[in-house]
Structure 1
Amino acid sequence: MCWRQVSKLQKTVLIVLFYSTVYVLVSYTISPETNFAFVSDDLRVGDKYALIYLSSPGTPVFTDAEGADVFRSRRCGLCFITNNKGFLPMSEFDAILIPGDRSALLDTAAYMAIGKSFSIETSTKCLRNKLRRCSWEPHITSLDSSEPFDLCSLCDHLHRERLKPNS
C-alpha cells in the first residue's frame, strides 16, 4: 500500500491513530506513579482530638498525618494542627495560633472567638519545617489571659477546656 494511493480520509485516520498512540506511550512513561496512603483510625480527626489552626500564610500545608505527628513526636496528648483554611470553619477549631505579635491580630480578628486566640513565637524556619526540628520550642501565649504555653501544655489546656461544661 503506497501513501499516494490512500484516500484523504484514510490518511487522516492513520495520522490521528499514530499521534494518539505516541501520546499514550509518552504520557505513560512521563506521568508519575500514583501512591495511596491511607490514614489509620488513630490519626483520624474527631471528638478525641483538640483542633488547632495555624494562621501562617506562605508555609507548606500540613497533611493529616503531619498535623497529628507534631504532638505525637513530642509525646503530647491527642491534638491536631493544620494551616489548611478549608479544613473546617474557623468556629470549629479549639485554638487559633497567630505567628508574631498582637499586630497580626488585625488580619484574623474577624473569625476569632474570645479565649481561642493564641500568639505563637517561633522562627520562620520552624514554621516552614511544620514545627519539627526547631532550634527552640515554640512559645505560645494566650491573647485573652496572657498565659504562656508550649505545644504540649496548650494541648492539655485545650483538652481541659473541652471537658468543662458550657456555661
Structure 2
Amino acid sequence: MAESGPNPAELHQIFEAAVQASDHRLCRPWSFILIPPELAAAFADVLASAYMRRCQETGVPVSLQRCARESAKAFRAPVFLVVACRPLLDVPVPAHETVAAVPAATQNLLLAATALGFRSKWVTGPSCDGSGSQAGTGSRREGQHRRLRPPGNGA
C-alpha cells in the first residue's frame, strides 16, 4: 500500500473513475472537494466546529475530549476527499435517482484509490452531515456530505 497521498495524476485518475458512475441523464449531482495536507488544520477547525454545533442543536454538553478527537481526525490521512450530494430539482429525473448516482460515484472513487494502492475509507454519520461540515468545506449545495479518505498512512 502507498504510504503517502495521491499525486495530481493519481487524483485525476480517481476523479475520472468517479464521474464514470451511472448517472441518469448525466445530471452529475455530486461535488468532490479536496482537502490537501496544507489545509488539515483548517479542516480540523471545521470538524470541531461542526461537533460543537451538533451539541448546541441537540442540547448535549460539549466534551473537550470529544472536540479534540474530532479535530484530530483531520490529521489521520494525507488527503481527504469530501463528496457532496444534492438532489437536482430542475431536471426531469426523480430526486432519488440523482441521489443514487452519488454512492455509485463514491464507490468508483474508492475502487480507483484502492487500485492505485491507497487505503480508503468511506465515513458517514453526524460528523459528515449538517450545516457545519457543509460550510467548512466550501460547499454551497444543500444536502449530505460523505467524507472520504484515500490515504496512504492514515488509519
TM-score bracket for this pair, using the shorter chain length: under 0.3
* Higher helix residue share: 2
Q: TM-score, normalised by structure 1?
A: 0.26
Q: TM-score, normalised by structure 2?
A: 0.28
Larger radius of gyration: 1
